[in-house]
Structure 1
């Protein structure tokens, strides 16, 4: 749980991507802190979260994301633009660039892009398609007359029970490639949203904030799975990182799905990056907002039983 008994904060957060899971959570945490949310949604959208945003207390503004002039009007009066947009190049690079230009034109002092990932600044180009897009936008953001802050959170812990099937409950194994003792960063989506809300209302944030709800190895995940199930769990080494890289290339060539945000090979790229240790977050900025209590891996795994 996160305590928000402190004095209500002021500020107007312009939030793009508020109908997505992460964006919706960010909106809720900003409002709980006493600040204002202007949620930008596509014109004509019938997303079920729009009435929920209004019930939370957000002001919902329909915009044409292809129109910088409309976005500029929507950003007027904002103290920080927060993007939780999800997509490929047309969204992460092009739409965010229009949003950035609008923020600058409207005089918004700060911008938080839709990064929420491992440290892509430490990865070689070409090792992760989705993170390459964030690197490309980051270059544009760095050159804009606005104060940027990226929030890097490792991997969403929630994915361990779904899209990233590392914990194989049926056979009681934790799947991995490479080194089972490589430390990795995990943060729940909820904790990431809570931290993003705090950062959006903090006018003194640095260029990058790094957080991890828990730093864990494959063996730590194995131990957590055993604790929550009360059963013995083992590890399953599927091969070296070189072998995983080969699997990624084969999977991508047989089923490219280049128009999908998260095809199977994209998740494999992310896992390869994490297990390599290259994008490990350091130093961590977990203590910047002491009211946030971090959710552990074992707490997330317990919900999958």
Structure 2
């Protein structure tokens, strides 16, 4: 009998991809949505393989009932403290109350476990939740994948295409990990269906340096891309701190200063993946950064 996987955050970019991969593996999928939202019905309502259930994260009884009978809960929610900590804490407690044996939190990031205190808000929220997950009577697995490779094309301004430059901080030879969203979704779906999955699964489509990236772009374009030193990680961290203090209004999930913090974590080496196991789920063509850049440039 196939496993029943409940997916929270299924209407988001990564969540949709995870649902697609689960269906391709013949899993029974249950999608959690907030009461009053039609997004899940619009996306999955016509698919008999997907069950849509509604429950507010603040309603423990309804949330527990929605999770009852599931074999694993996969979270793909995205946000700041109200989502990453508060909503997932409620989801975790409901999973325990419903007797769900396994839980996959919404990590999908570089390795947040060794970062310095105060250096990365989003990573520290994940580390805070991880402490509660570890203490709960549930078997948990986090998927760590470095940075989404697609972010190199726009939201993570490391590549200056027009100026033919690749920015780096401190060292151009620091190894950085990148994985496409589709590959992360595949690994997450396979992890969800693997009862023997460890506490952490590390994957990376590419583990390359800024120097490698510049060389790759030079080869793809036939035009030299040069490295450009942008300062030290300490300077970048200080700039991020100033940006955060000057920001006003509710905190965004990925403001400019959070992007700076992410590069601090990566270029300092603190968030580098140390135990990548791409072969865990068998042979697979991983989409590399070179593949992503070639498609973009084409």
Give the TM-score taking structure 2 as reference length: 0.95
Of residues 143, 159, 184 in structure 2, which corresponds to 1:167? 159
The answer for the alignment partner of 1:52 in structure 2 is 43
The answer for the alignment partner of 2:199 in structure 1 is 207
The answer for the alignment partner of 1:280 in structure 2 is 272
SS at match of 2:186: helix
Check whether the contact 1:177–1:241 (CA below 8 A) recurs between aligned residues. yes
1:105-254 matches, cutoff 5 A: 105-254=97-246
1:208-232 deviations in Å (ceiling 9; x for gaps):
1111111000011112222332321
The answer for the alignment partner of 2:65 in structure 1 is 73
Check whether the contact 1:81–1:112 (CA below 8 A) recurs between aligned residues. yes
Check whether the contact 2:176–2:207 (CA below 8 A) recurs between aligned residues. yes
SS at match of 2:207: strand
SS at match of 1:303: helix
1:212-267 deviations in Å (ceiling 9; x for gaps):
11100001111222233232111111112222122212222222555211110001
Residue 13 of structure 1 deviates from its aligned partner by 0.4
SS at match of 1:203: coil
For 2:60 and 2:258, the matched residues in 1 are separated by 31
The answer for unaligned runs of 5 or more in structure 2 is none
Coordinate RMSD, CA, aligned: 1.4
Residue 183 of structure 1 deviates from its aligned partner by 0.5
The answer for unaligned runs of 5 or more in structure 1 is 1-8
Give the TM-score taking structure 1 as reference length: 0.93
For 2:126 and 2:286, the matched residues in 1 are separated by 26
For 1:165 and 1:19, the matched residues in 2 are separated by 27
Is 213-222 or 52-61 further displaced after alignment?
Answer: 52-61
For 1:16 and 1:218, the matched residues in 2 are separated by 35
Of residues 95, 98, 120 in structure 2, which corresponds to 1:103? 95
For 1:181 and 1:16, the matched residues in 2 are separated by 38
1:66 to 1:292, Cα distance in 2 relative to 1, 3 A: farther
Check whether the contact 1:24–1:53 (CA below 8 A) recurs between aligned residues. no
Check whether the contact 1:22–1:84 (CA below 8 A) recurs between aligned residues. yes
1:157 to 1:257, Cα distance in 2 relative to 1, 3 A: farther
1:52 to 1:216, Cα distance in 2 relative to 1, 3 A: same
The answer for the alignment partner of 2:253 in structure 1 is 261
Is 49-58 or 150-159 further displaced after alignment?
Answer: 49-58
Check whether the contact 1:199–1:205 (CA below 8 A) recurs between aligned residues. yes
1:50 to 1:299, Cα distance in 2 relative to 1, 3 A: farther
